[in-house]
Structure 1
Amino acid sequence: MPSATFAAGRDMTIPYDPASFAKDRIEAAAALLGLDLPHQEQWDFIQQMISLDLQAAPGSGKTSLVGLKLALLAQGWRSATRGVCVISHTNTAKDEITARLDAVPAGRNLLHYPHFIGTIQSFVNTFLALPALRSMNVEIQTVDDDAYAAAALRQLDRPRYRVLKGTLERQRDGHQLISEARFVCEGSQLTVVTTRPLPFSADTNSGKQFDHLKRRLARAGVFRYDDMFAIAERHLLRNPTLAEATATRFPFVLLDEMQDTSSMQQRLLDKVFTDGHTVVQRVGDINQRIFDDRGDTQTSPSAFPLPMSAELPVSRRFGNKIAALASDLTVHRPQRIEGTGHEGSIALLLFDQDSIDQVVPVFERLAGSLVPRHVLLHNPPRVLGARRHPGSSAKFPQSLACYIPGFQLPGRGETRGLLITSVRTAREQRRHGDSHAAVQQLWNTVRGAVRPCAPEGLPPLARLDRHPSTAGGRIRALLNSLLTDPLDDEQSWGRLTRQLLETLPELTQAPWDDLSALQDPTAYLPEAEPDAHRHIDDSGHVSAVAGTIQSAKGETHAATLVLECLDRTGKKHDVSEVLAVLAGAGDIAGASATVRRAAQLIFVGATRPTHLLALAALRERAEPYTEALAERGWAIHHVTDPWL
């Protein structure tokens, strides 16, 4: 069949061969990827080439369908200068999509120019923010919240900011106010805001110094992630033809994980892609959207999902018991989820203050008795909570640490092994054919890591000399070695990093501070062992792995325990707040804001497991609902029961 172009807007077309989506080709590609397509909703999404929204339930195979659709589109793409744009919110989701494309020969075509697959941050940086900064002769040193915070606090110690420092020291969150200052675009101008209204006006000495410090760091090329969105938005406002040029470059756009799109990001995407020039297909699960600390909710007319959006309501991850629970907690958009997976179990674990340390061991034993051992060995049980560590409240319990004595979980800002982690990520990027982006990413990590020792910072990659006898040439050779040499042992890694640290100071004029600050970022970390037998404890049970609910989004577990934690107000406990709804005593649509916030978190945690879902709650708060929950098929256990 000859190639064809299909209309995407006023005068735009999608340069692809529609025969690529013929039934036989879809079936052949699905077989290659090991996918079943038993539902009409799956076929509708794959074959439609118009702008649409797809609301996909947890475990519906949304990412697999996206990968299949893109692989088919790659087979029939007919342009060498215009491409497919795929935007996600996390590198993990982006990597899942590229892995599926890499499994299909034609799919690999989308991993190169003229196509783009990346996070929304990388899209905005590449096509909008970085060109804007280059036009202002600003050289990027780092785009990272933690690196920005460290740089801002160092600036605050300078004499010229002593009035501001004195004012902030009288605030309980003074350091947070300065370290989280960010730009917003207001009327085509960049305005400086922070986590809350400032305790001083803009025309005071403190106000002027606050604004000056932020803009000084910007001139030095030090930014927060959010700054790039504001810079991009201003660039669009000042260059009206830029949006049309970007839309022309990408006649087909697929936006993944739309539930995580902030109002600021949505506004920016609307400016670029919603003028009728581009087919935009958006996929996600709005019920997995978790309120952030700014209370950022989507209220614009284009907010995902649109009222007439398509649905994938069938989950193959779990059975109808967990599906029914999840359906009762669909806060943002009511959805009756149908479970076609393994018909698992739901348990409620009750504890008292004296028995809280038994909750996780009881869950491990319960998982061992209900989940096939080979499944647990491949996918150890997971323990999730909304909070890592306790706060100042006297309420009980508060966090993961209340259940697991000595619990430690690396938080944001963890730097140990930063460089080798970046090397491994860059190697994967290089393996997919994007060598330049891999080197660029690795070099930017190096620049950010050494910033505490090198006040002037390191130059951008493009300014490194290429001659092998120069410091720049030797650095380029070392970057290549980091991306290509075997790094199977600590000795090889140590040799390369020593050479790197000996050469880097030659790139700057000013002397470096104490290099001991680089011990953690350059430390060697072995790759995670794939052998799950390391999780077996002395009693033969497979030990659980703990983490936050937020970090588990997108994961699939064999068994999941959701621990009751204090909510962000410090007044209510999340699991207890939703038990009334789950027991049938209320409806989520009419619930209070506190209950709805808790339900969003519990929904994410409760939709992870295939075989066993357990919730833990303080006995005195949960007992009013245990009878109704038992009638719904829940197993109710007190953790001190002798048979557990």
Structure 2
Amino acid sequence: MIEITNEDIDSIEKILLPYGSKFDDDHRKVIRNLKTVDIKACPGSGKTTTLIAKLLILEKKLPLKNNQGICVLTHTNVGVNEIKERSSNQEESKLFQYPNHVSTIQVFVNKYLAIPSYKHFYNDNVYSIDQETYSESFNRAFLKIPWKYRTNINRKYKTDDLCNKLNFCLEEDEFIYIGNKKLSDVYNETSDTYNYLKGLKNDLFNKGILSYHDAYVLAFKILKEFPEIRNLISARFRYLFMDEMQDTSSVQMKLLNRVFDKEQVSIQCIGDENQAIFENSSGELGWKPKNTLSLAKSKRFSTSIAECVDKVCIKPQNIAGNQSINNIPPIILVFNDSTINKVLPSFSKIIIDNNLHNNDRKIFKAIGRVAKVHNEGHITIPSYFPSYIKSGNEKIKRSYKSLGGYLQAISQFEDLNVSGCRKLIINCLLHTMRIENIRIEGKWYSERKLVEKLEEKNKVMVVNLNRHIAKWILKIQNAEAISSEISTFIMEKFIPFFKGNKQINKNLKEFCNIEADESGESLALTKQVKTFTYQDVISNDEIVVSLDTIHNVKGETHTATLYLETYFKQYDLMRIMQYLKKKHITPKGKELPEALCLAYVGLTRPTHLLCVAMRQETIDGNEEDLREVGWQIRHL
């Protein structure tokens, strides 16, 4: 039986924590515990560091009995990358080698369930499991439906809504649903509309173009057919650590319970239910912690911030702030229609007045729930800063219409690493093979099949291809023009390697020669104006305040945060006023819990300064109560 000792923790805290810092009793209790337990962690409590400490200690004790492994799941690649970056040596780390597994939950489902399921039941390879690729393919297919039927469908459903709602039933995949209704209950089975929609969904699925929901359909399908998979996975992994558990959907939770046997696997779920995602109209939490340990001391923000936001949540945790951080009382900036333009300058001046612009770490953000301009003139983020443009979908696409599109994507996406660049180039090559109808055993090539085929026919080709790709990536990063070079490689070397001297398809020539802008390619790169620059007229000090949505800053830490009141069915600060006054009651319905979760996320971002921009109409009649609980109020 493995045991984590205080000596283990002493040694690892020297690696993970700043010099002289120690894990307190609560963190040590969490690190030592290896039983099934839920861990509730407030913002800034160091939960990820605590999890990583436990993982690094366990890594030193590998291999486990019977060569069992450790499974770590989170919801974003950011979380996975943080674990990788803080591991002692990524390449040699046992955590990232068999039998262990560290990934997002989606990658886990794809790898162990969905892809094998598709291969087993449909004897084919999955083309993609990616929501963006699926949406693009869905929209293109939808446009092929005759206009009169599309118009009829769009009277009930916008195309984007339809894309998300038209799904196979989770555990009875022979049925197609639109939202919560069977497709046959919405449209008569004999109607053309029904058959067009059914055909669209089936066609995408048969091509292996899958949505995330499809992955879960396939996962449940193979678990139903082979229930022994549960025993196999549970025998492989001794421990399951699930980070950001509050973001787990009911479908994901159901699948995890189906896959992991609690009698065989120690399951630890870590999260903050006050930052939960709501899926249904009841407003109920998806994750309901049981048998809990708690991390309620925040290292992120001051005690004054902790005291003001402690009740602005679904379930108060009695958060304790960091006493070593200078206490700046949270400030409400009250505005009206004529003074709303003073909100950002006033926030900026408060930052300078408190000398926060001279901090080593200086991140200043203004955040709100709603980024789009409201049709009826209600206040949203652009009301405070008219130049603000909500960022477009900056997630890189998997495929483009032309070689120029792929190259432009690689050059313009600043956050794309070498692995991402290589993946796009490989996707481009696979795209050219589809244009030329080059298949293997009647199926489209995947990256793995491509490499296997090249190695089988000529191992030198694999080496040369990798050299070419490395050279192209360097040239792209140096802003050199390489479209012609890659085009020549594709048409004179790569495709002939498979087709011999057969004539090149004219569509391939067009693909290689059309520039991205000529093809009408959209890279989803939007010119963004998301920063406000302020210069103090007296000191000439200058700061930059970034504007963003609350959803986008989840997980971030700011030096100073300005929470902007915005309108979504109702003004959000008016909706949560009683909680701002520290009068907590259990929230009912859906809108109030959602508003509280978003407010909680937004208000717990800063380390030093929290400001709230509030309408005069919202604060009327509430000033005295707000002052009593610690808010300073300034009228602009």
TM-score, shorter chain, exceeding 0.5: yes
- 1:600-640 CA-partner distances (Å, limit 9, x unpaired): 1110000110001111111122122122212222221123x
In the other structure, the counterpart of 1:419 is 410
Please state if 1:599 is matched with 2:571.
Answer: no
CA distance in 2 between counterparts of 1:422 and 1:72 reads 37
In the other structure, the counterpart of 2:129 is 143
In the other structure, the counterpart of 1:334 is 316
Preserved CA contact (<8 Å) 1:183 1:230: no
**Aligned pair in 2 of structure 1 residues 347, 146: CA closer, same or farther (>3 Å)?**
same
- 2:264 is matched with which residue: 267, 274, 277? 277
**1:398-437 correspondence runs (5 A):** 399-412=380-393, 415=396, 418-419=409-410, 427=418
**Aligned pair in 2 of structure 1 residues 594, 118: CA closer, same or farther (>3 Å)?**
same
- 2:56 is matched with which residue: 55, 62, 71? 71
Q: Alpha-carbon deviation of 1:326?
A: 2.5
In structure 2, the gaps of 5 or more residues are: 398-407, 496-503, 526-530
Preserved CA contact (<8 Å) 1:82 1:248: yes
CA distance in 2 between counterparts of 1:224 and 1:455 reads 24
**Aligned pair in 2 of structure 1 residues 389, 501: CA closer, same or farther (>3 Å)?**
farther
Please state if 1:216 is matched with 2:203.
Answer: yes
Q: Alpha-carbon deviation of 1:553?
A: 1.0
SS at match of 1:545: strand
SS at match of 1:379: coil
In the other structure, the counterpart of 1:490 is 479
Preserved CA contact (<8 Å) 1:578 1:598: yes
In the other structure, the counterpart of 1:435 is none
Preserved CA contact (<8 Å) 1:576 1:621: yes
In the other structure, the counterpart of 1:351 is 335
**Aligned pair in 2 of structure 1 residues 588, 411: CA closer, same or farther (>3 Å)?**
farther
**Aligned pair in 2 of structure 1 residues 56, 572: CA closer, same or farther (>3 Å)?**
same
**1:488-637 correspondence runs (5 A):** 488-491=477-480, 494-495=481-482, 499-500=485-486, 503=489, 511-512=507-508, 515-517=514-516, 539-567=540-568, 571-584=569-582, 586-590=583-587, 593-637=590-634
Preserved CA contact (<8 Å) 2:273 2:285: no
**Aligned pair in 2 of structure 1 residues 202, 418: CA closer, same or farther (>3 Å)?**
farther
Q: Alpha-carbon deviation of 1:64?
A: 0.4
What is the aligned-residue identity percentage? 23
Please state if 1:396 is matched with 2:378.
Answer: yes
Q: How many residues align?
A: 587
CA distance in 2 between counterparts of 1:444 and 1:422 reads 17
SS at match of 1:575: helix
- 1:242 is matched with which residue: 216, 229, 232? 229
In the other structure, the counterpart of 2:370 is 387
**Aligned pair in 2 of structure 1 residues 590, 187: CA closer, same or farther (>3 Å)?**
closer
Amino acid aligned to 2:313: T
CA distance in 1 between counterparts of 2:532 and 2:372 reads 25
**1:458-497 correspondence runs (5 A):** 459-464=445-450, 465-466=453-454, 476-481=466-471, 485=474, 488-491=477-480, 494-495=481-482
Q: Alpha-carbon deviation of 1:50?
A: 0.8
Q: Alpha-carbon deviation of 1:550?
A: 0.8
**Aligned pair in 2 of structure 1 residues 282, 617: CA closer, same or farther (>3 Å)?**
same
**Aligned pair in 2 of structure 1 residues 60, 151: CA closer, same or farther (>3 Å)?**
same
**Aligned pair in 2 of structure 1 residues 576, 78: CA closer, same or farther (>3 Å)?**
same
In the other structure, the counterpart of 2:164 is 180
CA distance in 2 between counterparts of 1:264 and 1:447 reads 35
Amino acid aligned to 1:326: V
CA distance in 2 between counterparts of 1:184 and 1:69 reads 40
Q: Alpha-carbon deviation of 1:446?
A: 4.8
Amino acid aligned to 2:318: R
CA distance in 1 between counterparts of 2:436 and 2:346 reads 51
CA distance in 2 between counterparts of 1:286 and 1:447 reads 45
Amino acid aligned to 1:575: L
In the other structure, the counterpart of 2:498 is none
- 1:12-60 CA-partner distances (Å, limit 9, x unpaired): xxxxx53xx2222211111111253453211111111111110001100
CA distance in 2 between counterparts of 1:423 and 1:474 reads 27
CA distance in 2 between counterparts of 1:357 and 1:453 reads 54
Q: Alpha-carbon deviation of 1:174?
A: 3.2
CA distance in 2 between counterparts of 1:32 and 1:325 reads 34
In structure 1, the gaps of 5 or more residues are: 1-5, 7-16, 431-437, 526-532, 640-644
Amino acid aligned to 1:576: M
Q: Alpha-carbon deviation of 1:592?
A: 6.1
**1:70-89 correspondence runs (5 A):** 70-79=55-64, 81-89=67-75
**1:244-393 correspondence runs (5 A):** 244-291=231-278, 295=281, 303-306=287-290, 308-331=291-314, 333-341=315-323, 342=325, 343-375=327-359, 378-392=361-375
Q: Alpha-carbon deviation of 1:116?
A: 1.1
**Aligned pair in 2 of structure 1 residues 314, 265: CA closer, same or farther (>3 Å)?**
same
**Aligned pair in 2 of structure 1 residues 158, 373: CA closer, same or farther (>3 Å)?**
closer
Preserved CA contact (<8 Å) 1:318 1:344: no
Please state if 1:155 is matched with 2:156.
Answer: no
SS at match of 1:53: strand
Amino acid aligned to 1:277: Q
Amino acid aligned to 1:109: K
In the other structure, the counterpart of 2:528 is none
Amino acid aligned to 1:589: T
TM-score by length of 1: 0.81
Q: Alpha-carbon deviation of 1:110?
A: 0.8
Amino acid aligned to 1:102: S
